Amino acid sequence: MPAASAGLLRFFEEDTPGVKLSPQLVVISGILLVTFALMAYFLLP
């Protein structure tokens, strides 16, 4: 495999083990978490 950028950067297309999440799912879950926290703060005594 030829070195890219004089060997400074190497990117691999291999899959790594672990959970794969889409960026949209992460953003939506973050927004839902903040919404839930704000609702709990203002609505619960």
Q: Is 35 inside a domain boundary?
A: yes
Q: Is 26 inside a domain boundary?
A: yes
Per the structure, how many domains does the chain have?
A: 1
Q: Is 7 inside a domain boundary?
A: no
Query: What per-residue confidence (pLDDT) applies to 11?
Result: 60
Integer Cα distance of 34 and 25 in angstroms: 14
Query: What per-residue confidence (pLDDT) applies to 31?
Result: 98
Q: Is 42 inside a domain boundary?
A: yes
Q: Is the pTM of this model over 0.75?
A: no
- List average pLDDT for each run of 10 residues in the chain, which is 45 residues long: 55 71 94 97 92
Q: Is 32 inside a domain boundary?
A: yes
Q: Which amino acid is at 44?
A: L
Supply the range of the domain harboring residue 30. Answer: 21-45
Query: What per-residue confidence (pLDDT) applies to 8?
Result: 59
Q: Is 39 inside a domain boundary?
A: yes
The tokens of 2 are what? 């030829």
| Structural contact between residues 23 and 29, judged by C-beta atoms closer than 8 angstroms | no
